[in-house]
Structure 1
């Protein structure tokens, strides 16, 4: 199916769109009739004169709030932009901004001019894009040109201000950047002049103290760091006029340990001695963009040998490719979906096209200078001209790139959000399809799916071609009783250090000492996969640890032919095994003790959608079918539980499910298993003690279980609530019990069923401290006591915890009663000041007890998960009496409801949800891979890479810089919304 021309994708203005846009036209007409409505009148006249412009305005009014507000805020300009030449319009905006910044000395005036120019440029470029007047290349060039003008003008303004304050002397007033020694490099899409519509700008800032015309007594580092802070503030501070650009400085060398402006010599030494391969890839797009342009060009020239190596370094290419750790190692698994798909990072997305180009540039660019360009489309042509890729591959990827970028721009310009994810909701997706230029959502899906699959196919082929590019291992001889010297050397070259122990262990495999290698067929298959297996393990970050983890796993396998045959038939699965063994010590240890759970990988549906509630119910029903003793039921439940937990964990490890999906999957599994074990306990308990006449019981999940945010190591926070027909009822069994005693013992039995170690291990740890009165209260709670407690004497922290309460199992009638009781308790009017005071005091106590564990204590640290949860819970408890729709057990969703009800600013909710998502992505990985606290200095390199990927950062240093910024932002929002600590 041919890819639609991006310039033909004009928003659809059908009858429904026109009807929905009507009120905004009415508002425009009212403004036009007012005394100061000349601009509105002009805009309205232009729209009525030009049917195409009117149709475009209908679509904007219907689906693009950001553009709609821009048009209504500045209607005279909108009228000109709709009908004028886009290039001249943008040139005029840039020229006017340059004049203003060159003439004004007032900081506020300069900031205002920047923001208003940005609003006009954003509208003009959007209209040129939506109308089809500009191609994708013109749009990205226009966005980049405005960014150059804004950034360059700001840097010049700041340098002039420094000159007026006598911090600089003897520089060129007409061109302040020249000779200043202050270097601003554009990186990423900005460096390539391929900016997104709502993109951050990635910058790196350097300075040359030997060149800078600093006044006497001015220290270079202090001056340029302060100058850079002001630059960031000028561009990204949000004022009444909005912002200009969000600025990201985390691509600089070792961002956790370096200043935001770095001396040129220090930076050059870093790259020449310690530069990483991902930094080579990043530097391909680096471009001097502001300040001392000549010095910037000289600096990049100096880095040419670092970026463009003369000789092919295939190991380096594999390392660069590892930055994009999607599940290409298991080719054939998974599907490309459209709704909810991430156009940038998802399978077949824009990032894959960019990485396709960059890896080829790194391979060949050292010997072929014509392949050193920054722009993706230009380099696809260059690669084809150099016969490095087939011309049809270049053409298909170029068409795909243009199409995906066009759809991405439509997505971003609706709300000026840096988003890349298509709506998953049917209504939202249908509305977006119209705005993207498609008559129906099905038409958008039909156009987009083959594009994604085309990109994925070419990108996967690139990995296939790279599969044999590893180190030539040399001898791999593991027969006889002695070490082969050549084999030890080959193992050492692969990166192993305990080479003699490893050689001996592999000889043991070949000698058939374990069940997995006793058959001749198994040993033959093992010999065939050995080079690929060792190569894969050597790339695991900690090769020795990965090898010995695999050895323990192999020792416990009852047979090996099936696994070795699978790996032989699909060598990409070796990367999956190596990732498990080298990245996730905790999970690898579990597999080594229970190797049969790895059988789940052999299931063809392993990388399909995670099982939902119905599928899990069926799996547990099948596992617990037949005549089983109570103890056998516990073991069977643990087997299916561990298998499913492993399946979810591997999906997290291979980045094929999101953190939210993993949290929901772990939660659904806990829901099903707890419900089944509660029934099993009730049946077993009744054999001795009978049942309480008219008695009902329900299980209430709290904490992360209640909030559907569980991880691999989450315990179960639970409360058991019961009700009886009579207060003094007794059970009717051979050993009758009073109702309170009956349900207390039943609760104890359930806790044991969930948490006691059996031959199949422990299923969950259980925590009951959230029940009324905590550890001082009864194990089981009568519904009347539960209601009375939460209506009266409950502590503030218990009321906040109740926002996550969710009934997960038990009798239907009592379920509704308990849900009503929870809702009633939460909807009581509150003394908000007292509530805030209690919440702040509680948070202070938690910080005192747990908060000193540093940046990676994502839960307890200041600005961590607890701060976000407290904000959401505090606002729900404070406002549920008047805003019933804000109640939701999941923090992310609760923040969205709070923003929708106007109880928290949209920007603040967005920041908190972004932080919450980041923390949960990292927490899912850490809880899966590490048994105790995460300590970066002791963590395997594979785990560090996985965390960097989860945080969308190039390395752990950049991720830690982002974490520090995020935690500071969250802490500030806690102080503002709940109260200062």
Structure 2
């Protein structure tokens, strides 16, 4: 039979002896069929080697299946040691690219067959103890590199053959080809694990001698990269070579697979992230134009290795550290299911321990720029950056954990790093590592993790913790960290993988707001607190997605991120907006400049009264501006102030009634400014009408100063002029009526037409005399005549809320006096009440409420209260000096003969309750309130603003309140003949 060169150093014990014998016999039978007599004799003999192989095939289904399919892979070890055979395999792989008649499909087959044999032998040598973990990772890395080079060389020669490249030497295709392939991570460090994928980053030099058309180079090299992945990655009947990942390239979501070196250098130097800087410490040219690859990395050195240990460099490293939760050793580590790579005390912590020290010191000490973990531990200790004890402990545990990782992956060739959850699975791993049983392995494994954890946690002793106890929050690289997914889920996110993707996109600097390194660092530091705050909204995913939309539109972020970091209340407010107030969130995302107002330290102290808003508007419009600029600035100002009024309401700094007045004052001021701008602009072309005066009469909720965030504006434009004026005095004169109609149309467009800055207000002029049939502008005499002789009862009811908001002071006084006079006209009280009751019944019939939460339309809702107030005004049943337009004020001053004190009190309470609900709902939502889909954050806000403890209590209160109001309505505004029964919900 001859000597078999792979003698097991230590005995390997199978899980089940009978199964092991049966597996060995099956493989011996397969060897006989393949006519491999030396292998048959080895497997059927009674030797330590046969016992070792029996144990291997029992413990590893993957290796057992390989041996059954290709038992001849065992045969070469009779002639030479494993290392020599591996050298032969790699040498054979190197010749494939230039072999006669090689095709892509034949190359794929040969690579898979040779890789499989090498993989099999590397695993056997590892389990036999012939190779320690350091040798195993080097063998796996050399194998991967050989395969990548062969595939790259083949693709370069194929492109040369097609005329797409002009190689300097087709026998050495990579030379001066300009195609750069950097091995990243464990491939770059030559530390691959058994089932590792390989991370490649692909660049090219469009000016390289081999490049035929520099303009086509991006597409051409990207196509080659795509073919490379297919050659290596695709599974065929012969398996696969290596899973290949190209996602570590700059901004993988928006860049081609191959990137020009100049663009890559610009990216890293201008937008490179902290984790990319750390990743580049392991980058190594592995295939293609190795000389160009080395030159590229040399060019990149100042980015990766900071020369001076300044504050920016320290902040940079701390920023990376903060992305990984520092475990302080509290609590027991579970062995079952533990992730040996990413979990507490795992391989990643050792690698990170080394990398952070390298990043701090490597700029000044070139000897600390190595790619491999253990040699760098030695260098760090030699220079005094870590203790000898840390070096020895971490070196020992690193190789132990790497052995555990290999054992896990050798079972089924799966890219997993988690220990099994079941007893048999854990026992299997223990046996593969030479432990007597799972219990002893568990003790040793747990001790190793605690030792690593102790050294790793020490890194964080000087770095402030932003959000202690949150859990793992790792967003580096391009693969989701399992513990981070769990943390996000625990925080309240339903789609943690999507959240990881979004946060990683922030790090790529695709948005203007994250282009600067400082902004990305600030955002990284803020992220734990941000996620906690969004999680508490109970619609965490929506909140974060809206925040992402906000980031996409912001011009800069350092100031905002710093402010949020130092101001937890503001962060909570932002989270509330994003989670509970889609309307406000939409305003921010469409017009992110409105967020600037939150930077004002006096925001919650300064009340947004008329004087405050007027001063702010004057300052905002100050300067010589053209017509279009004024209209845009009015939109900007109104959007920002609507938002800030809403924020004050959300924060409880103002109550709903004050919010209604503030929204109304804002509309008054901005529409007045728009009217002035329109009048001046219109006059440049059409001149002015002699004695011409204009005023705007605010109706509806604007008139009563009870606007909400989503209210339309009801207006009537009234004008007057000299009796003998025939036309305006401009270049294009117009008759007075035509002049004011055209100017009103211009005003409607100025206020309501959408521009890049949005819409100022939606205007509704249907309350003017004759409604939509009448002209949009009404002469004061026509208005007077109509109101006194033709208006319906409902129009006088509407007039009870009218007030002038803009225009000529003299005309405003006349209109106010006329409105008061019309409201004071004698009326048949019984008839008015009956007509109002009839109108309410008609509304109820034609436009029934959707549900209990249609607060305006429900029986006993807002319309009932408004009708009561309006009827009281026009029938003289209000005890109040002067004409007050606010519904709440009117209800509070109902005459005793009209309503009892109890009724008055209950109506006032109901109106305040409805106003609180509608202000908050309209502030937060753009659509209807769906009782079955209430954002939890909005439910909390509604409870806060009404002072009720529970949403069910709130609904019951609303129902009771509506019943009370309807009872008063039916008594105060009885129907004409027989009493109509209210419709209960």
TM-score by length of 1: 0.51
Q: Is the 8 A contact 1:744 1:779 kept in 2?
A: yes
Pick one of 952, 958, 971 that aligns with 1:957.
952
In structure 1, the residue matched to 2:185 is none
Secondary structure in 2 aligned to 1:473?
A: coil
Pick one of 841, 846, 870 that aligns with 2:843.
846
In structure 1, the residue matched to 2:614 is 617
Q: How does 1:59-458 map to 2 (within 5 A)?
A: none
Which whole-Å CA distance do the structure 2 matches of 1:903 and 1:885 have between them? 17
Q: Is the 8 A contact 1:693 1:725 kept in 2?
A: yes
In structure 1, the residue matched to 2:578 is 581
Which whole-Å CA distance do the structure 1 matches of 2:743 and 2:597 have between them? 34
Shift of 1:727: 5.8
Shift of 1:886: 7.0
In structure 2, the residue matched to 1:340 is none
Q: Is the 8 A contact 1:473 1:493 kept in 2?
A: no
Shift of 1:653: 1.7
Q: Is the 8 A contact 2:466 2:529 kept in 1?
A: no
In structure 1, the residue matched to 2:637 is 640
Which whole-Å CA distance do the structure 1 matches of 2:969 and 2:883 have between them? 19
Q: Is the 8 A contact 1:521 1:561 kept in 2?
A: yes
In structure 2, the residue matched to 1:628 is 625
1:833 aligns with 2:833: no
Which whole-Å CA distance do the structure 2 matches of 1:884 and 1:488 have between them? 63
Shift of 1:711: 0.5
Which whole-Å CA distance do the structure 2 matches of 1:765 and 1:684 have between them? 21
In structure 2, the residue matched to 1:497 is 494
In structure 2, the residue matched to 1:889 is 885
In structure 2, the residue matched to 1:786 is 783
Deviation per residue, 1:139-173 (Å, 9 max, x gap): xxxxxxxxxxxxxxxxxxxxxxxxxxxxxxxxxxx
In structure 1, the residue matched to 2:538 is 541
Shift of 1:573: 2.0
In structure 2, the residue matched to 1:921 is 916
1:481 aligns with 2:478: yes
Deviation per residue, 1:921-965 (Å, 9 max, x gap): 110111111111100211211111111222221121110000000
Which whole-Å CA distance do the structure 2 matches of 1:924 and 1:809 have between them? 25
Compute the RMSD of aligned alpha carbons: 1.8
Q: Is the 8 A contact 2:727 2:735 kept in 1?
A: yes
Secondary structure in 1 aligned to 2:794?
A: helix
Which whole-Å CA distance do the structure 1 matches of 2:801 and 2:849 have between them? 26
Shift of 1:520: 1.9
1:681 aligns with 2:678: yes
Which whole-Å CA distance do the structure 2 matches of 1:659 and 1:568 have between them? 29
Secondary structure in 2 aligned to 1:937?
A: coil
Which whole-Å CA distance do the structure 1 matches of 2:883 and 2:822 have between them? 12
Which moves more between the two structures, 532-541 or 647-656? 647-656
Shift of 1:613: 2.1
Pick one of 545, 567, 571 that aligns with 2:568.
571
Unpaired segments ≥5 residues, structure 2: 1-463, 981-985
Q: Is the 8 A contact 2:466 2:528 kept in 1?
A: no
Kindly tell me: are residues 884 and 513 of structure 1, through their superposed partners in 2, closer, same or farther at Cα, counting changes over 3 Å?
closer
Pick one of 798, 805, 810 that aligns with 1:801.
798
Shift of 1:616: 1.9
Secondary structure in 2 aligned to 1:507?
A: helix
1:766 aligns with 2:778: no
Secondary structure in 1 aligned to 2:568?
A: coil
Pick one of 694, 702, 713 that aligns with 2:691.
694
Q: Is the 8 A contact 2:898 2:972 kept in 1?
A: no
Deviation per residue, 1:17-45 (Å, 9 max, x gap): xxxxxxxxxxxxxxxxxxxxxxxxxxxxx
Q: Is the 8 A contact 1:936 1:944 kept in 2?
A: no
Deviation per residue, 1:559-603 (Å, 9 max, x gap): 111011112222332211110100001211121111111111101
Q: Is the 8 A contact 1:580 1:588 kept in 2?
A: yes
In structure 2, the residue matched to 1:658 is 655
Which whole-Å CA distance do the structure 2 matches of 1:561 and 1:662 have between them? 31
Q: Is the 8 A contact 2:706 2:886 kept in 1?
A: yes
Pick one of 932, 939, 942 that aligns with 1:937.
932
In structure 1, the residue matched to 2:26 is none
Does 1 or 2 have the higher relative contact order (CA < 8 Å, sep 6+)? 1
1:510 aligns with 2:507: yes
Which moves more between the two structures, 525-534 or 468-477? 468-477
Shift of 1:728: 5.4
Which whole-Å CA distance do the structure 2 matches of 1:514 and 1:632 have between them? 27
Q: Is the 8 A contact 1:716 1:765 kept in 2?
A: yes
Deviation per residue, 1:693-741 (Å, 9 max, x gap): 0111111100000000000011110001111111653111111111111
In structure 2, the residue matched to 1:911 is 906
Q: How does 1:872-887 map to 2 (within 5 A)?
A: 872-879=869-876, 885=881, 887=883
Which whole-Å CA distance do the structure 1 matches of 2:488 and 2:621 have between them? 47
Secondary structure in 2 aligned to 1:640?
A: helix
Shift of 1:527: 2.0
In structure 1, the residue matched to 2:469 is 472
In structure 2, the residue matched to 1:971 is 966
Deviation per residue, 1:598-649 (Å, 9 max, x gap): 1111011111132322332222222222232211111010011111000001
Q: Is the 8 A contact 1:885 1:897 kept in 2?
A: no
Shift of 1:656: 1.9
Q: Is the 8 A contact 1:827 1:884 kept in 2?
A: no
Q: Is the 8 A contact 2:689 2:725 kept in 1?
A: no
Which whole-Å CA distance do the structure 1 matches of 2:619 and 2:604 have between them? 21
Shift of 1:897: 2.1
Deviation per residue, 1:196-223 (Å, 9 max, x gap): xxxxxxxxxxxxxxxxxxxxxxxxxxxx
Shift of 1:657: 0.9
- Which runs of 4 or more aligned residues in structure 1 lie more than 4 Å from their structure 2 counterparts after TM superposition? 467-471
Shift of 1:745: 0.9
Q: Is the 8 A contact 1:692 1:730 kept in 2?
A: yes
Secondary structure in 1 aligned to 2:959?
A: helix
Which whole-Å CA distance do the structure 1 matches of 2:880 and 2:914 have between them? 28
Which whole-Å CA distance do the structure 2 matches of 1:721 and 1:573 have between them? 45
Which whole-Å CA distance do the structure 2 matches of 1:758 and 1:564 have between them? 30
Q: How does 1:857-876 map to 2 (within 5 A)?
A: 857-876=854-873
Deviation per residue, 1:801-846 (Å, 9 max, x gap): 0000101111111111111110110001001121112101111111
Unpaired segments ≥5 residues, structure 1: 1-466
In structure 1, the residue matched to 2:224 is none
In structure 2, the residue matched to 1:595 is 592
> Which has more radius of gyration?
2
